[in-house]
């Protein structure tokens, strides 16, 4: 990790957040909430991060208090498909770990593979399949985790239970399942989706997996939520567009925000 990024963040962070929340494509509404607008926003550029490019991502860390807890919202993330090395993709996780953040909530837009799930559903990640062909821990081990990181409960069971309790209290449907991480940026072929279903994947997306691995390596608890923004390739007889993904994310924004707020309130971190 570049020492300067941590030094810059440490100097600018108004407090040590308990929880970091990465806001996925179309799920950025929390960053425009009254609490966030009065929080301390640090543009990625001020931390020496590379500029952001993907539509729907603005690129800032927002330190604020939500539901009575100190959190940092990450609006925007780095994707491998943009050409960023995995060290950059996962740099925010290294920074949160070094800062003393206890848990991360990783959110994303994903394609649904499970025919029992519907566009617009939210899905708690129970596990992931790393199909990126890459691993962010390759190279000299920067610590603090071991050389061979255990991922047998990558997505914290207690935090998953908190999400389900929160959804129940809100009267929301909340799916759960396995997320398969791919590099993108092309969407999958129908044959790939059939193969992924046979492997047990319920959702597919282009983020989250490298971040989850590094967050675990930093000793932080991890929870993940996918917004199922489209049925994956070949499930419906229609092409996929980034526009539909963003629109489905926006349509789920209210439910997503309510769920995340309740989670923040109730989670034992």
Per-residue mark of binding to ligand HPA, 121-160 (x: CB under 6 A) = ----------------------------------------
Burial of 133 (0-12, 13-18, 19+ CB in 10 A): exposed
> What is the β-pairing status of strands 103-112 and 40-43?
unpaired
The single residue of 109, 123, 212, 223 carrying the catalytic annotation is: 109
At its nearest, how many Å lie between ligand HPA and the CB of residue 25?
A: 7
At its nearest, how many Å lie between ligand HPA and the CB of residue 99?
A: 29
Return d(Cα 157, Cα 162) in angstroms, integer: 9
The single residue of 20, 31, 36, 79 carrying the catalytic annotation is: 79
Q: Among 110, 119, 137, 264, indicate the residue that binds ligand HPA (CB under 6 A).
A: 110
Return d(Cα 17, Cα 22) in angstroms, integer: 13
Asked about 220 being catalytic, the answer comes back as no
Asked about 80 being catalytic, the answer comes back as no
β-partners of residue 233 are 236
The single residue of 5, 20, 25, 166 carrying the catalytic annotation is: 25
Half-sphere exposure of residue 228: CA atoms within 13 angstroms, side-chain side: 28
Asked about 187 being catalytic, the answer comes back as no
Per-residue mark of binding to ligand HPA, 198-227 (x: CB under 6 A) = ------xxx---------------------
Which residue from 235, 218, 240 is spatially nearest to 109, judged by alpha carbons? 240
Q: Among 19, 30, 101, 109, indicate the residue that binds ligand HPA (CB under 6 A).
A: 109
- Applying CB under 6 A, the site for ligand HPA has a residue count of 14
Nearer to ligand HPA, 47 or 229 (CB): 229
Decide: is 60 part of the binding site for ligand HPA (CB under 6 A): no
Q: Which residue is nearest to ligand HPA (CB)?
A: 111
β-partners of residue 89 are none
Return d(Cα 162, Cα 4) in angstroms, integer: 36
Q: Which tokens in the block code for residue 13? A: 């962070």
Considering only 30-38, 108-116, 136-144, 217-225, which stretch makes contact with ligand HPA by CB under 6 A?
108-116
Q: Which tokens in the block code for residue 222? A: 């991890």
Asked about 84 being catalytic, the answer comes back as no
Q: Which tokens in the block code for residue 237? A: 């007889």
Angle, helices 157-170/253-266, rounded to nearest 10 degrees: 120
**Binding residues vs ligand HPA (CB under 6 A):** 109-111, 184, 187-188, 204-206, 229-230, 232, 240, 245
Q: Hey, which residues are catalytic here?
A: 25, 57, 79, 81-82, 109, 206-207, 230, 242
């Amino acid at each position: 990790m570049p020492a300067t990024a941590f030094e810059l963040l440490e100097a600018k962070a108004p407090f040590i957040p308990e929880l970091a929340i990465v806001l996925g494509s179309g799920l950025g509404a929390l960053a425009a909430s009254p609490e966030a607008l009065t929080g301390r926003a640090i543009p990625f550029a001020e931390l020496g991060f590379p500029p952001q490019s993907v539509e729907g991502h603005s690129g800032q860390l927002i330190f604020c208090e939500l539901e009575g807890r100190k959190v940092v919202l990450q609006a925007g993330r780095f994707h491998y498909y943009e050409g960023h090395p995995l060290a950059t993709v996962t740099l925010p996780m290294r920074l949160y770990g070094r800062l003393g953040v206890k848990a991360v909530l990783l959110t994303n837009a994903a394609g649904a593979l499970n025919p029992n799930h519907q566009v617009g559903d939210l899905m708690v990640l129970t596990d992931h399949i790393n199909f990126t062909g890459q691993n962010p821990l390759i190279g000299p081990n920067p610590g603090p985790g071991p050389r061979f990181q255990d991922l047998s409960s990558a997505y914290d069971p207690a935090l998953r239970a908190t999400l389900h309790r929160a959804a129940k209290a809100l009267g929301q449907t909340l799916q759960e399942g396995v997320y398969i991480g791919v590099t993108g940026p092309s969407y999958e072929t129908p044959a790939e989706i059939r193969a992924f279903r046979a492997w047990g994947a319920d959702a597919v997306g282009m983020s989250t997996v490298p971040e989850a691995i590094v967050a675990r390596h930093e000793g932080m608890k991890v929870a993940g939520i996918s917004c199922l923004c489209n049925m994956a390739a070949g499930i419906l007889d229609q092409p996929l567009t980034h526009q539909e993904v963003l629109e489905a994310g926006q349509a789920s924004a209210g439910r997503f925000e309510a769920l995340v707020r309740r989670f923040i309130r109730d989670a034992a971190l």
